[in-house]
Structure 1
């Protein structure tokens, strides 16, 4: 029986071997080659070779020159400590510039209702130059404006004229609170006239000119700036200096002068400045700025008030409508409310920010994510 079982196993094995076809042999050889190509050669690990793979940070930009300029987001709002100090860079210069040129023109020919041909131009420049490092910032603001209108039969008349230069140093004391100190200079470019009294004036009819008057404010205090839309500056110690460098205008009562021939009037008091920006909708922003000053030395109850409102309507990248209103009350100058309003549609071109690179690494993070 055992011999019969052994013979049966041998025969069965021969039958199984006969079932392996040539196709199966081809398949097995392919699988073997694939295994050999992917298998780890353990002997090769005895002498490893390191390959240098260069990598570039995804959020960094390598620059070769000293300065890079990146376009801004067309926001015309003033830069504030909050919008600067919350940025992650350690050292940076920011330059934001707005340049506006507004035209208005009227022409008449045989117009039954009447009219006078005229053309007017107003140019405005507004630049912020800000340095920020750690908790320190230095904000320099330059605002210049000049406008005129020329009408048939009349001399050219000035419609706008101002120089406003401000410098402010701040140090972050705590979250949203900053030590604040700086100065402001105000004046105008050319002589001004009262066209109601002198329709065709000459230089001797001037009522103002450069540094007549000129104003200089110096002070120290604190500021509160929780976000870019709201800022409060309080300076309990603030000096206000009024300059009148034109002998013809150095009479008592002019620009608060106390005696004839006085060149400068000095006041010491407290100053409060509030900035509040309202975004009406996507392309419309209204900026409110109001300033209060009270003189410690004389009549502290007579508070000087200066309000400025600006409505900016942006049609596209370059065409903008600007409506401004300025109101001022200074009891020492005139015991009436002074008011100025302008409306213009024109070309506005905004510059971007200038960023100083890190001198050690030459790498900066992008300004816009």
Structure 2
């Protein structure tokens, strides 16, 4: 819960800074209508929100469980463009908890950072280098298929796993809000900073702690796995669909040349619909297929209504 409070604090601090940095700069004091042109070459967007849900019951014959849910999310982007050089940075952060009958569980958790440096070789094509990082803020637990004396079982943590992919290739970039990047050389590093997440499944799929188990592709006794020879494909779309609706979507494919029968896929979608200036509804979806994590597709879906702050300096084209 401390990580969630810290994330909300950062969100409030950013909003306050934006509100203070609103003074118009002029070219001279005699003509206050002459505004100094923007020479920073930066375009920025930020969307941050806090969702809260609560329910309580007292002598309610229909039954029910007292519950409190709190979540925070941030989607930010900073794009630098000057002549033929560009630098595109995105951050998607999410953390949420739900407390029912006095028991707190994690409801959403994501750290996803991406940075891309490119140089134009034609009007719609770039050469680029990129770095992509993903992990979790805090520990994640399994609550089913446990031993009789357990009520939860740790299966993940910050940097357990964490993944960093460094890629080089070419990109098709027809505008500021859509891009497809192909990287024939994309080494990936998988980190396991917490050895306490290693486990196997015993009879009836009951989780059993096992320090000699392979975890997220990282071998026993190791804290990092390196996949040097790999291909990565990325597609990213960040756009306002209308005055009140925006979408932030990404697709990522990763293929190790040595295991082409086990290609990884990840889809991220965040839809935001404004109800009023500071109230909005958000829908988030993460779909992940990685055989080092699970043999099945993994899904995380969130839906919430709450306070949100949006700001953007992107030029309309």
TM-score range, shorter chain: 0.7 to 0.9
The answer to whether 1:159 aligns with 2:127 is no
Shift of 1:213: 0.7
Q: How big is each residue's C-alpha offset from its partner over 1:17-49, in whole Å with a ceiling of 9 and x where there is no partner? A: xxxxxxxxxxxxxxxxxxxxxxxxxxxxxxxxx
The answer to whether 1:108 aligns with 2:57 is yes
Q: Secondary structure at the match of 1:248?
A: helix
2:244 aligned residue: 283
Q: Secondary structure at the match of 1:223?
A: strand
Shift of 1:277: 5.9
CA distance in 2, matches of 1:348, 1:179: 36
Pairing of 1:250-265 with structure 2 (within 5 A): 250=198, 251-257=212-218, 259-265=219-225
Structure with greater helix share of residues:
1
CA contact (8 A) 1:253 1:333 kept: no
State the structure with more CA Rg.
1
2:35 aligned residue: 61
Q: How big is each residue's C-alpha offset from its partner over 1:66-92, in whole Å with a ceiling of 9 and x where there is no partner? A: xxxxxxxxxxxxxxxxxxxxxxx6642
Structure with greater strand share of residues:
2
Q: In the comparison of the two structures, how many residue pairs are matched?
A: 271
1:145 aligned residue: 94
Q: How big is each residue's C-alpha offset from its partner over 1:128-164, in whole Å with a ceiling of 9 and x where there is no partner? A: 2332221112122232221111122x42111112222
Q: RMSD across aligned C-alpha pairs, in angstroms?
A: 2.7
CA distance in 2, matches of 1:252, 1:118: 36
CA distance in 2, matches of 1:237, 1:321: 39
Shift of 1:276: 4.1
Structure 2: runs of 5 or more not aligned: 1-29, 199-211
CA distance in 2, matches of 1:164, 1:126: 10
Change (3 A) 1:292 1:118: same
CA distance in 2, matches of 1:254, 1:183: 23
Q: What is the TM-score with the length of structure 2 in the denominator?
A: 0.77
Instruction: Give the number of the structure with larger relative contact order, counting CA–CA contacts within 8 Å between residues 6 or more apart.
Output: 1
Pairing of 1:1-369 with structure 2 (within 5 A): 60-62=34-36, 91-152=40-101, 154-197=102-145, 200-201=151-152, 205-250=153-198, 251-257=212-218, 259-267=219-227, 268-276=229-237, 282-296=243-257, 298-353=258-313
CA distance in 1, matches of 2:266, 2:129: 20
Structure 1: runs of 5 or more not aligned: 1-54, 64-88, 355-366
